[in-house]
């Protein structure tokens, strides 16, 4: 998880404000996807 945070977060590379917002939103979406992949799946037994 640390490596993904280092790759995605940090400084913004784009100069336009709207582009920066999109860059941050893409990073958040990627982190959320990685978090979901690590979560256990619950199933009802029985």
pLDDT digits (tens, 9 = 90+) for 2-40: 776 777 767 778 889 999 899 888 888 988 888 888 888
Q: CA 7 to CA 35: how far, in whole Å?
A: 15
For residue 45, give Cα distances in angstroms to 18, 33, 38, 41, 42: 47, 26, 21, 12, 9
Left (φ > 0), alpha (ψ -120 to 50) or beta: where does 15 sit? Answer: alpha
Q: CA 25 to CA 30: how far, in whole Å?
A: 9
Does the reported pTM lie above 0.75?
no
Return the half-sphere exposure (C-beta side, CA atoms, 13 A cut-off) of residue 35. Answer: 7
């Amino acid at each position: 998880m640390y490596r993904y945070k280092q790759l995605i977060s940090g400084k913004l590379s784009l100069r336009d404000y709207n582009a920066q917002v999109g860059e941050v939103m893409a990073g958040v979406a990627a982190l959320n996807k990685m978090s979901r992949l690590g979560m256990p799946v619950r199933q009802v037994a029985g």
